[in-house]
Amino acid sequence: MEKEKVTYAKNRSNSRGFATAVYIGGVVAASVMFISFVLLAFPPDAYFTRAIMTVAGIMVGSSMLAFPYALHNWVVTKDHRKWTIILYYVEMIVIAVNTVVSFVSLLSTYAGYVVPEWVVLYEPFSVVSIIYTIFAWGTVFLMDPDHKLHAQEQDAEARYNRKIALKREEFIDSVEGEDMIVEIARADAMSRFAPANYAKGRKHFGSNVPVEDTVFERKDAETPHVGDSFPG
Q: Which tens digits make up the pLDDT trace of 164-186?
A: 999 988 898 898 888 898 889 88
Which of the pair, 212 or 134, is modelled with greater confidence?
Answer: 134
Average pLDDT over residues 194-212: 62
- Indicate whether 54 pLDDT > 80: yes
Q: What is the chain's mean pLDDT, rounded? A: 84
SS3 200: coil
Q: Is the Cβ–Cβ distance between 85 and 71 less than 8 Å?
A: yes
The pLDDT value recorded for residue 212 is 53
- The whole-angstrom separation of Cα 26 and Cα 18 is 13
With 0.85 as the threshold, say if the pTM is over it.
no
**Phi-psi region at 173: left, alpha or beta (left = phi > 0; alpha = psi -120 to 50):** alpha
Share above pLDDT 70 across residues of the chain, in percent, rounded to a whole number: 84
pLDDT at 199: 64
- pLDDT the model gives residue 96: 93
- Is the pLDDT reported for residue 62 higher than 90? yes
Q: What is the mean pLDDT of residues 35-50?
A: 90
d(CA 4, CA 10): 10
**How many residues are present in the chain?**
232
Each as own residue / partner, the long-range contacts of residues 205-210 (CB below 8 Å, 24 or more positions apart, any chain) are none
pLDDT of 35:
92
The CA distance from 231 to 83, in Å, is 117
Instruction: Tell whether the model's pLDDT for residue 86 goes beyond 80.
Output: yes
The larger pLDDT score, comparing residue 202 to residue 186, is at 186
User: % helix / strand / coil in the chain, to the nearest 5?
Assistant: 80, 0, 20
How far is Cα 101 from Cα 113, in angstroms, rounded to an integer?
A: 12
Q: What is the mean pLDDT of residues 20-47?
A: 91
Residues 6+ apart with CB under 8 A from 36: 102, 106
State the pLDDT confidence band at 216, using cuts at 50, 70 and 90: very low
pLDDT of residue 232: 44
Cα–Cα distance for residue pair 11/18, rounded to 1 Å: 10
* Structure confidence by residue, pLDDT tens digits, 123-145: 888 889 999 999 999 999 988 88
Query: Is the pLDDT confidence value at 227 over 70?
Result: no
Non-local CB neighbours of 137 within 8 Å, separated by 6+ positions? 63, 66
d(CA 31, CA 98): 9
